[in-house]
Amino acid sequence: MRVLILGGDGYLGWPTAMSMAAKGHDVTVMDNYLRRNIAQETCSEALTPNPNLIDRAKIFEAATGKKIDVVIGDAADYRVLSALFARTKPECVVHYAEQPSAPYSMKGFDEARLTLNNNLNVTFNVIFAVIEQAPDCHIVKLGTMGEYGTPNIDIEEGWLDVTHNGRSQKFLYPRQAGSLYHTTKVLDTDLLWFYVRTYGIRVTDLMQGPVYGLSTPEADMDERLVPNFHYDDIFGTVVNRFVTQAVAGIPLTVYGKGGQTRGYLNLLDTLQCVELAMTSPVKKGELRILNQIVEQFTVNQIAEKVKTVGDRMGLNVAVKSIENPRKEMEEHYYNAKCSGLIELGLKPHPMTDDVVAGMLENVLRYKDRIDPSKVMPRVKWS
């Protein structure tokens, strides 16, 4: 299948590109290094070595014989994106090309404005590039479970049937996100749904939970192919951050009470989910929404898991609650449905002790590169 991956340099974009190329798909990736530039600007570089995208594609080709076509360019520039669609005529576009950090989006005016404009404009451009250049192309969009926030009722997969005063209506599940970054994904969903029902484009919107891990079959071939793994407060997701703290001998920093519950998934499951969405496209005029998570944990449960496995490995892990820099509920109801991807064929990799041990061993290789000053939260909500 001809697939275009936008944001192909990212923590998820790059392993997705490799995985799809390895499976024989015809892969083009585009990225403008926005995340790399923000990482540098905020002193939040990845733990792992990360050659530039063009060099990585060469290393990957040398290792596998498979080619990944790389374009360095800005998807927020419509001329660039439209020309790329015209040239590659993708059957599927995987849209990861967003500023992905919640704390960065809450830092100040400039960071918030960049997040809003980049994320909305890329989504908007993707919609129009599809309409104008590849009307049958299936958009696989990475949303986030964070769009839903933490409602007091069950989280359904994208939609909610409401009965009110004796009448019924199916709505997009009401969304209420916890950061501007997450809110831009709510706006993305609104925008996609409008153009799906008006222009008949085809979209799968994946509501993804926080991802963890750095091992994939392709990444394991050469350490220069390992996805950029962040442990800092800006880009580091909680599991990756805790694993790195355990390796560095720093207490795992739980924000507030630690009862915050989310749905999580292994990087390997992200790769599966995106490919399952791609290879079972929806029909025109359909917006399919899938909750891309595998299991739910509180932050305290994750800390406990990392501590248990880390202690067994002799890491002597401490856990410490610190003041929560975010505005969020620290104890709440959370029950999110996630059967859609299982029905499509997802075989989940749960967060077993072995998986945590594997991550700890992997990160131990980079122990000398850990900078403890990058771990503590530097951005407060308001």
185 is catalytic: yes
Q: Which of 107, 141, 185, 374 is catalytic?
A: 185
Q: Is 312 in the site for a second copy (CB under 8 A)?
A: no
Task: Classify the C-alpha dihedral 334-261-100-134 as positive or negative.
Answer: negative
Of these, 163, 314, 323, 368, which contacts a second copy (CB under 8 A)? 163
Q: Is 33 in the site for a second copy (CB under 8 A)?
A: no
Q: How far is the CB of 194 from a second copy (least distance, A)?
A: 5
Stretch that binds a second copy, among 10-18, 88-96, 187-195, 208-216 (CB under 8 A): 187-195
Q: How far is the CB of 55 from a second copy (least distance, A)?
A: 34
Build a one-symbol-per-residue string for 122-151: x at contacts with a second copy by CB under 8 A, - elsewhere.
Answer: --x---x---x------------------x
Q: Which of 148, 181, 195, 334 is catalytic?
A: 181
Q: What is the DSSP string of 210-264?
A: -EE----TTGGG-GGGS-----STTT--HHHHHHHHHHHTPPEEEETTS--EEEE
Crossing angle of the two packed helices 238-248 and 299-312, in degrees rounded to 10: 30
Residue 194 vs 372, nearer CB to a second copy? 194
Residues of span 46-85 touching a second copy by CB under 8 A:
78
Q: Is 113 in the site for a second copy (CB under 8 A)?
A: yes
Stretch that binds a second copy, among 64-72, 154-162, 298-306, 339-347 (CB under 8 A): 154-162
Q: Is 176 in the site for a second copy (CB under 8 A)?
A: yes
Of these, 41, 136, 154, 353, which contacts a second copy (CB under 8 A)? 154
Residues of span 190-209 touching a second copy by CB under 8 A:
190-191, 193-194, 197-200
Phi, psi of 283 (to 5 degrees): -85, 170
Residue 114 vs 364, nearer CB to a second copy? 114
Q: How far is the CB of 170 from a second copy (least distance, A)?
A: 9
Residue 59 vs 114, nearer CB to a second copy? 114
Stretch that binds a second copy, among 10-18, 114-122, 237-245, 366-374 (CB under 8 A): 114-122
| Cβ atoms within 10 Å, residue 158 | 23
Burial 342-364 (b: 16+ CB within 10 A, else e): eebebebbebeeebbebbbebbe
Q: Is 177 in the site for a second copy (CB under 8 A)?
A: yes
Q: Is 168 in the site for a second copy (CB under 8 A)?
A: yes
Residue 91 vs 328, nearer CB to a second copy? 328
Rg (CA), the chain: 20
Residue 115 vs 216, nearer CB to a second copy? 115
Task: Please report where in the chains the tokens 């939970």 appear, as a residue.
Answer: 209
User: What DSSP element (H or E) covers 197?
Assistant: helix 180-199
Q: Which residues lie closer than 8 Å to 220 by C-beta, 6 or more apart?
A: none
DSSP E strand boundaries for 56-184? 69-72, 92-95, 138-144, 159-164, 167-172
Furthest C-alpha separation in the chain: 64
Task: Please report where in the chains the tokens 């401490």 appear, as a residue.
Answer: 318
Of these, 49, 174, 217, 350, which contacts a second copy (CB under 8 A)? 174
Of these, 320, 333, 361, 371, which contacts a second copy (CB under 8 A)? 333
Task: Please report where in the chains the tokens 């969903």 appear, as a residue.
Answer: 189
Number of residues that bind a second copy (CB under 8 A): 45
Q: Which of 144, 183, 237, 261 is catalytic?
A: 144
User: Which CA distances in Å does 105 have to 224, 254, 323, 337?
Assistant: 29, 21, 20, 28
181 is catalytic: yes
Task: Classify the C-alpha dihedral 201-83-105-273 as positive or negative.
Answer: positive
216 is catalytic: no
Task: Please report where in the chains the tokens 């595998």 appear, as a residue.
Answer: 294
204, burial (CB in 10 Å: exposed 0-12, middle 13-18, buried 19+): buried
How many angstroms from the chain centroid is the CA of residue 363?
A: 20
Please report, as ranges, the residues that interact with a second copy according to CB under 8 A: 78, 109, 112-113, 116-117, 120-121, 124, 128, 132, 151-154, 160, 162-165, 167-169, 171-172, 174-177, 180, 183, 186-187, 190-191, 193-194, 197-200, 327, 333, 381-382
What are the catalytic residues? 144, 181, 185
